Structure 1
């Protein structure tokens, strides 16, 4: 993939929003990768936010149609964003991690339910509060990585009330800024996949987990 490929983004502020999304991703994993796919007027940026066992999808509308499929360094992609001119230059390709080969399907999704924005915000806040409270209740010597992993898995494996969606997906959507827009989200399914689609991006979770992922607490 040529490092000179430059993509103009269609909407004002799109570059800044993408930069913010990548910045949140890199807070957890400074060596994170991102897979870019475009086949028309939208480029989809896929990342695997560490700790959550989900995939995040940030779509960006393009000023001109493009076609590409490449895995790059998320850090290099962040540096290649030109916020002033609303564009990005595609960095050189990197060897993709195992998750990059197991992306959610592009089409064929079936709507399951509409989820109110407040329901998602309250659920995410509840996850954070419970994890913090139960962590603080542990004796200092009990706050091991294994103990915190077990606690995180217990909380995140629960489902959002009235849906099959695990709370790890709701928490990831909150942590990545996808719940900033005060609008309902749509829960969709296809095969082993569930997808929480918000106006700012989607979180996809695969029943049975993703390859090469583990659980670590926030």
Structure 2
């Protein structure tokens, strides 16, 4: 586990910091108390967030969002920190008018189960394509179905099973409704953009790629 007490990330420009701030804010709409895995390899920072936690030891049904940002130079980092800790840093930056390209990493680390499951970096094979409109429609339908099928007072196990079933539903080209949820909430797709996302597979993993990010599920 990295010592983050004095660790600072230096982005290629201030826009990279602002991009991460937006990504964190959107992620918190899924889970205000959630976490983000920050992986830096060389000049690239990868920010992983959990959209659907999955079930069991192998996290079946897990859906992750991934957005990358350019760093100014080589970094080596792999930590998972609370979203609230980063949000607090961005709030302080906003209050002081800090538009710089450096960001200190929060010292508090967490160990959510999803962060221990890493998708492969290579061996991805083309699976198909999916329209962003189809993904967004599946997300809207899924949100409504979960809300209607899990009224207040439903047991945690029943809610988890319902969500797993809804978000594992295939949409097009191997992509699932869970990918649509991630694209909608994280801002990877917007209504009316008319785009098509590519779908790749590697073993049990599926990756849906958008111009602004990726969704990985298993």
Please state which band the TM-score falls in when normalised by the shorter chain: 0.7 to 0.9
Please show how residues 157-168 of structure 1 align to structure 2 within 5 Å. Answer: 157-161=168-172, 163-168=173-178
- Cα-to-partner distance string for 1:134-159 (whole Å, 9 max, x where unaligned): x2xx7x9x654246555444432320
Gaps of 5+ in 2: 55-61
Please show how residues 81-100 of structure 1 align to structure 2 within 5 Å. Answer: 81=90, 82=93, 84-100=99-115
Higher mean C-alpha deviation, range 117-126 or range 99-108? 117-126
Q: How far apart are the structure 2 equivalents of 1:112 and 1:11?
A: 35
Aligned partner of 2:57 in structure 1 is: none
Gaps of 5+ in 1: 207-218
Aligned partner of 1:186 in structure 2 is: 198
1:28–1:50 contact (8 Å) kept in structure 2: no
Change (3 A) 1:105 1:80: farther
1:93 Cα deviation after fit:
4.6
1:45 Cα deviation after fit:
1.1
Aligned partner of 2:81 in structure 1 is: 72
Q: How far apart are the structure 1 equivalents of 2:78 and 2:111?
A: 12
Q: Which of 168, 173, 187 is the matching residue for 1:177? A: 187
Q: Does 1:56 align with 2:65?
A: yes
Q: How far apart are the structure 1 equivalents of 2:63 and 2:7?
A: 29
TM-score normalised to structure 1 length: 0.76
- Cα-to-partner distance string for 1:92-126 (whole Å, 9 max, x where unaligned): 15241222111111222222223233333333334
1:54 Cα deviation after fit:
1.3
Q: Secondary structure at the match of 1:17?
A: helix
Aligned partner of 2:58 in structure 1 is: none
- Cα-to-partner distance string for 1:168-194 (whole Å, 9 max, x where unaligned): 221122112121494432211111111
1:70–1:93 contact (8 Å) kept in structure 2: no
Change (3 A) 1:128 1:95: closer
Aligned partner of 1:210 in structure 2 is: none
Change (3 A) 1:122 1:198: same
Q: Which of 79, 104, 120 is the matching residue for 2:135? A: 120
Please report the RMSD computed on the Cα atoms of aligned residues, expressed in angstroms: 2.8
1:51 Cα deviation after fit:
6.3
Query: How many residue pairs get matched?
Result: 199
TM-score normalised to structure 2 length: 0.76
1:79 Cα deviation after fit:
2.7
